Amino acid sequence: MNAIFSPARLGALLVKEFIQMRRDRVTFAMMLGVPLMLLVLFGFAINNDPKTLPAALLALSNDPYSRAMVVALENTDYYRFDRIVRSEAEAGTLLARGEVAFVVTIPADFGRRVARGDAPQILIEADATDPAAASGAISTLGTVAGQALLRAEGMDQIAMSQAASQLEIVVHRLYNPEGVSQYNIVPGLLGVILQMTMVMMTAMALTRETERGTMENLLAMPASPAEIMLGKVLPYACVGAVQVVVVLIAAKMLFSVPFIGGLPLLLSGILVFVLGLVLLGYTISTVARTQMQAMQLTFFFFLPSILLSGFMFPYRGMPQWAQWLGEIFPLTHFLRIVRAVMLKGATLPAVAAEIGWLGLFVVVFSATALVRFRRTLD
């Protein structure tokens, strides 16, 4: 009679399981790669207090007080004045395109009002589509600007409180004045939901055929690889269209997210994004050999995309290398499009570059999928 527990049998089962783990290289790589990836991303790339944010300067006064103010703002490490603009229209265009996070305007009479003690003002216009990214820089304005003005005037610490009260910092939080986090999160959720469902479903398109034993019938059909690819991805694109309608209606009805831009432009960007996602999923299905591998590869793509796209954490708070890495994910460019159109009322010129990047992803993923498609079952 066999013993209830046999170390020999247990050892044989353990050896068998380790052999299977070694053969399944994708699973083994996931077990080692995901913890390492999370450690690197959360340890080095994630930052909830972004510094060196790009800013534009509109200085209508060139006096010592104005220069002291600009130097003081740069010394906080929150502001990096990359652009010197000549008009309010130029500054507004930079904000609308997302090229700068702040516009600092120093009026022409700033120096005279400082000398007279006549309540000088400085205007700070902030892109508040992501309230978390702008909050740290805005919170330091009053103290830093007041101290800079005192040093420029040569006052001592006794007169600091009196002089600091004269300076007025006017902050305009554009596109989201109340700092409602749902205005930033809900439009981004559209991209996250589409990515999660579209890539996951299409990633199992070919592996499902293989596991069900119907791959032979598919290959025997008088259809080209391009026709097979379109037949596999277009139904899921239609499902994505239904998801878009549901999310947009929920964003308006439940969360009162403003919709300032044009609906045709937004839908055009969504269409290119969805095509890129389903083609990416189909590309994964040509690489994976089982549905489990397809799910694992999808997760391995999905996780860094969420972390580095600017959905969960401020994009500009990440180091430069992480921002470059984030540019390879379609979600990064889609978030810029949907937030710019819905919250800023952006037009085609403002988002044309991002739509172009999504179009490039469509071309690359479709070409890769066609090259990778196997006409045989080997």
The predicted pLDDT at position 155 comes to 47
Residue with tokens 């009053």: 142
The predicted pLDDT at position 24 comes to 73
Mode of pairing for the β-strands spanning 102-106 and 79-84: unpaired
For residue 279, is pLDDT > 90?
A: yes
- Looking at the structure, tell me whether residues 207 and 162 fall in a common domain: no
* 144: in domain: yes
Share of the chain above pLDDT 70, in %: 92
- Looking at the structure, tell me whether residues 147 and 244 fall in a common domain: no
* 226: in domain: yes
What CATH code is carried by the domain that includes residue 159?
A: 3.40.1710.10
* 31: in domain: no
* 42: in domain: no
* 24: in domain: no
- Looking at the structure, tell me whether residues 68 and 192 fall in a common domain: no
Specify the length of the chain in residues: 378
- pLDDT band per the 50, 70, 90 thresholds, residue 329: very high
- Looking at the structure, tell me whether residues 113 and 151 fall in a common domain: yes
Domain that includes residue 333, residue range: 181-372
Give how many domains the chain has, as a whole number.
2
- Weakest-pLDDT range from 7-11, 57-61, 256-260, 374-378: 374-378
* 25: in domain: no
Residues 334/361, Cβ–Cβ less than 8 Å: no
* Predicted structure pTM score: 0.83
Question: pLDDT tens-digit profile of 121-136?
Answer: 888 888 888 887 777 7
- Looking at the structure, tell me whether residues 60 and 197 fall in a common domain: no
- pLDDT band per the 50, 70, 90 thresholds, residue 342: very high
Residues 365/287, Cβ–Cβ less than 8 Å: no
46: Cβ contacts below 8 Å, ≥ 6 apart: 307, 313, 317, 318
The predicted pLDDT at position 161 comes to 47
Question: pLDDT tens-digit profile of 169-214?
Answer: 888 888 888 888 888 899 999 999 999 999 988 988 888 877 777 7
The predicted pLDDT at position 158 comes to 46
For residue 86, is pLDDT > 90?
A: no
Average pLDDT over residues 74-87: 86
Question: pLDDT tens-digit profile of 233-244?
Answer: 889 999 999 999
- Looking at the structure, tell me whether residues 248 and 269 fall in a common domain: yes
- Which of 130, 147, 174 terminates a domain? The answer is 174
Q: Quote the tokens at residue 233.
A: 């991805």
- Looking at the structure, tell me whether residues 251 and 152 fall in a common domain: no
- Which of 124, 145, 174 terminates a domain? The answer is 174
End-to-end Cα distance, the chain: 45
For residue 159, is pLDDT > 50?
A: no
Higher pLDDT, 126 or 120: 126
- Looking at the structure, tell me whether residues 109 and 209 fall in a common domain: no
Higher pLDDT, 142 or 83: 83
Residues forming beta bridges with residue 122, ordered by sequence position: 169
- Looking at the structure, tell me whether residues 232 and 367 fall in a common domain: yes
Q: Quote the tokens at residue 204.
A: 């199992």
* 43: in domain: no
For residue 276, is pLDDT > 90?
A: yes
Burial class, 196, CB count within 10 angstroms (exposed 0-12 / middle 13-18 / buried 19+):
middle
Average pLDDT over residues 31-42: 78
State residue 53 phi and psi, 5-degree precision: -75, 140
The predicted pLDDT at position 109 comes to 83
- Looking at the structure, tell me whether residues 144 and 257 fall in a common domain: no
Residue with tokens 């994505």: 240
* 251: in domain: yes
- Which of 139, 174, 209 terminates a domain? The answer is 174
- Looking at the structure, tell me whether residues 203 and 114 fall in a common domain: no
- Looking at the structure, tell me whether residues 161 and 76 fall in a common domain: yes
